């Protein structure tokens, strides 16, 4: 089981890091990972329990898991390729230019 976890989380860390420029990378990765863990880790068991309580079978849980998997696949396919993206240029473009002279009256 640990080898499967490594196969999942190894590429995921690289993918998350490439989604954000270096200026906001830590915050972007942290927020997206934690929000995903909240919805996937906290709400999924509650929803699965409610679905099981409605039918006393796991058929609706299966439909729910397939639907969530399809949504995840569509989100993954919607990501843009970052292979040739220069993160240093992005940071330079988004960094506000600082005045070289002091403000008047200072």
Confidence (pLDDT) at 102: 57
Q: Is 43 part of a structural domain of the chain?
A: yes
Q: Is 93 part of a structural domain of the chain?
A: no
Q: Is the pLDDT of residue 56 over 90?
A: yes
pLDDT per residue as tens digits for the range 9-22: 888 888 888 888 88
Q: Is 33 part of a structural domain of the chain?
A: yes
Tell me how far apart the alpha carbons of residues 30 and 106 are, in angstroms, rounded to a whole number.
39
**What average pLDDT score do residues 34-63 get?**
92
Q: Is 23 in contact with 91 (CB distance < 8 Å)? A: yes
Q: Is 37 part of a structural domain of the chain?
A: yes
Q: Is 58 part of a structural domain of the chain?
A: yes
Q: Is 31 part of a structural domain of the chain?
A: yes
- How many domains are there within the chain? 1
Domain span at residue 51 reads 12-77
Tell me how far apart the alpha carbons of residues 71 and 64 are, in angstroms, rounded to a whole number.
11
Report which of 81, 90, 83, 93 is spatially closest to residue 25, judged by C-alpha positions. 90
pLDDT per residue as tens digits for the range 22-31: 888 889 889 9
Q: Is 83 part of a structural domain of the chain?
A: no
Q: Which residue has the higher pLDDT, 95 or 82?
A: 82
**What average pLDDT score do residues 79-102 get?**
63
């Amino acid at each position: 089981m640990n080898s499967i976890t490594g196969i999942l989380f190894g590429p995921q860390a690289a993918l998350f890091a490439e989604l954000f420029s270096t200026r906001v990378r830590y915050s972007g990765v942290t927020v997206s990972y934690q929000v995903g863990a909240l919805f996937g880790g906290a709400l999924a068991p509650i929803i699965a329990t409610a679905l099981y309580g409605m039918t006393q079978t796991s058929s609706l849980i299966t439909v729910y898991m397939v639907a969530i998997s399809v949504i995840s696949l569509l989100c993954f396919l919607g990501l843009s390729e970052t292979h040739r993206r220069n993160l240093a240029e992005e940071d330079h473009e988004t960094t506000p230019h600082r005045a070289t002279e002091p403000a008047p009256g200072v």
